[in-house]
Structure 1
């Protein structure tokens, strides 16, 4: 049978896990974006250890880097919609094609290309996010600079920050509001969560790509063997006819 020993079932299982992981990633990134447009804008009042005057930090900094979040969201959306939902259609058409015509459907080949492109996008998002986070880490907020900005609505102008590194630095300040501190800690978990969730998305995408390539190679070899067998069986009849 055309479906005998096929890898369509393992492909479907890995595809499901990848779609779930991509949906989780998109959900975490969306949560971060909502925070940035809401409570993340501050202000964050704190009292420095060296003084008694309350200082106000006006929300996010001027140089806030968010492109890695957009890239991650694009990778998650591609994996969920094009690879996940598209893969469900591709596998259904592939099973029908194998049963009726004993060969792969054109849509399955097209979807295989989407699997490759999606994995490359995830790889780029993974590298970009971790490199950007590493390059902007290890910073702290200059209390003296915040004091100089007192009474103005100017956002913190120094440094270059990812949301994760910025709010980690904010948490190092002696914030006045304990509820605000707890909320920031929760959001830090979300930000670290979507960054690290790129790792299993990368692994699952690569596993899916390997399985799809192996299945395409298997079907191609099987087709070549069928053609060779047909030629061998037809050879005696051709000699008789001659």
Structure 2
């Protein structure tokens, strides 16, 4: 005789209630686990951009981020230290150009060389004038220009709280329609380095100022034909009357 035949109707109903209650508890537990997993996933997704921003700030040095700054902040350095010409100004450099030019009277070709010390002198005077304008985005000190066979390297430091944040721009000078045109290659702020795609905005303010100044300087001599990068200086070829 089966055992369940001895169970009364009341006991049977009570057993059904217990089973239903257990099923409800199990469903609630599964729902709670599912909601918890979703919440954790959402928190992880939301924290990713926050962590990214904190990492960027720590690497640039623009903000001190506990733990991250000490671990990630490794400021870039210039290729070498370049000092401006002692006691000289941009105007002095400009006025000296005609006396140093190698001129071919038959062809009208003018050859000049500018050292990185002269370029640094031009750059510092240019930045001094720019920083008097309210639109200039960042206060910088000790700007300098190094010249290698691959690129121009502009370097300066920006004071920030208890540190000086280095700013380094590397760009390749080109000749377009008789004028200088600089192609940005790399930008570093603090310890963060980005490629040409993201360096355009900073170059507009910093490299663009030097580009305009050089074009203005040589426009009175002739049309720019060619420019050669050498270690520590640039060679410039112009055609007078161009």
Question: Shorter-chain TM-score category?
Answer: under 0.3
Tell me which protein shows more strand as a share of its residues: 2
Relative contact order, higher structure (CA 8 A, sep 6+): 1
Tell me which protein shows more helix as a share of its residues: 1
TM-score (norm 1): 0.26
